[in-house]
Structure 1
Amino acid sequence: MSNPILYLSEASIFQRDNLVLKNVNISIDEGEFVYLIGKTGSGKSSLMKTLYGDLELQQGTGAIVGFDLGKLKEKQIPFLRRKIGVVFQDFKLLNDRNVEGNLQFVLKATGWKDTSQMNAKISEVLEKVGMQTKGFKMPFELSGGEQQRIAIARALLNDPELIIADEPTGNLDPRTSIEVMEVLEEIHKTGKTILMATHDYALIMKYPHKTLKCEGDELFEVVQQNA
């Protein structure tokens, strides 16, 4: 049996002092694609933030890409984030520099030094998301779908073991959502593990995967009827 890339056992998820999810038990193996669904305010984002070290795991046990979430120290968080790629709903691109500059910023921040290696890596991730001709563009010159592709490229820079996508299609129209989903599906086929929070039930029907649901301060697996 492979070790799960991510697990939580009897975990309680807090947003400040408020309990948002209790008795959370999840296990995600390498190479899985898992959806996380639930209404706004049901705890999806708090759960995601706990996984990438933004919120502390106060109760229960858990580990992600080899890091113990219960004992995670502030100084370990940058190393944890090198092994996880996070894709946000609102892209979070830096508007004062072009696409290549955005990607270079992340590489430098995570310890890359060699310019030719950085350039090669930037070309590689842009090609993976079909944006190899857009490196010179400023973020505001790109459509929402293109910006999200760049955000996915950014998440791939350090060859993460796990990609956490928090509502990656939340700001996109249906057609663009499918294009972005196709990019994520292609990345998943290369063996990457993906955990994706979404509201978009049309995508879940079109691309069925294991689905976890936050509801009534609990998290449970949803059995899909049409899988």
Structure 2
Amino acid sequence: MENSILHLENADIYQRDNLVLSKVNLTINKGDFFYLIGKTGSGKSSLMKTLYGDLKLQRGTGAIVGFDLKKLKDKEIPFLRRKIGIVFQDFKLLNDRTVFDNLLFVLKATGWKDKEAIKAKIEEVLDHVGMKMQYYKKPFELSGGEQQRVAIARALLNDPELILADEPTGNLDPKTSLEVMELLNEIHQSGKSILMATHDYALIVKFKQQTIKCEGGELFEVAQG
């Protein structure tokens, strides 16, 4: 447990009043990469939402990056989200702002004040994802893969202890999916921990990592092929 950044024990995951996963046990340690697989409606998104504070943990115990999910108060959720990076399938970028301003918005919202530090941090994360030269563009001027790179840059802004990627390649073609996966793989190799929900079995086969599956209301580890 010393090394764990996510630990769930006998956790029941609800979507509104429906129990979608019961008695979930999961530990992710620093530096781990887990795939989360399962059919649509099997509970993957509900589990993810519970981890970033969108859904309440009602039964069992859960801790993530130092926060107790059972006791999590609404006012603590922004602080939790500073310590995790979230990457969504549909990018969730602000279309009326440039790439730079999308990232600026997040840093200001999470308490950054120093203009020079802000500029340096934005340049650093955009460089990391290969988007430094596109800082002035609006999201609709970018391809899907480029938008997802910006979304990954956004997730890296506060040096998160854990990245939650919810179907990050779901809206991308196979070639772009591969590029985004290679980027996530590099980020993992730099020491970040990642939990990635995905339907893309080709990526799971190519980039082998520990895999957990939602099925029949349960979460279990899948043996490596």
Report TM bin, short chain: over 0.9
Q: Return 5+ residue gaps in structure 1 as ranges.
A: none
* CA deviations over 1:128-158 (Å, ceiling 9, x no partner): 1011100001100000000000000000000
SS at match of 1:112: coil
User: How far does residue 89 in structure 1 lie from its aligned partner after superposition?
Assistant: 0.1
Match of 1:74 in 2: 74
Does residue 103 (structure 1) correspond to residue 117 (structure 2)? The answer is no
- How large is the RMSD of aligned CA atoms in angstroms? 0.7
* CA deviations over 1:165-189 (Å, ceiling 9, x no partner): 0000000000000000011011001
SS at match of 1:176: helix
Identity of aligned residues (%): 75
* CA deviations over 1:53-79 (Å, ceiling 9, x no partner): 000000000100000111101111000
Q: Return 5+ residue gaps in structure 2 as ranges.
A: none
Give runs of aligned pairs for residues 11-90 of structure 1, distance below 5 A.
Answer: 11-90=11-90
Match of 1:176 in 2: 176
Q: TM-score, normalised by structure 2?
A: 0.99
Moved over 3 A (4+): none
User: How far does residue 2 in structure 1 lie from its aligned partner after superposition?
Assistant: 3.5
Q: Equivalents in 1 of 2:3, 2:22: separation in Å?
A: 24
* CA deviations over 1:87-107 (Å, ceiling 9, x no partner): 000000000110000000000
Match of 2:3 in 1: 3
Match of 1:93 in 2: 93
| Counterpart AA for 1:114 | D
Q: Equivalents in 2 of 1:204, 1:103: separation in Å?
A: 30
Q: Equivalents in 1 of 2:78, 2:224: separation in Å?
A: 36
User: How far does residue 48 in structure 1 lie from its aligned partner after superposition?
Assistant: 0.1
Match of 2:126 in 1: 126
Count of aligned residue pairs for this structure pair: 225
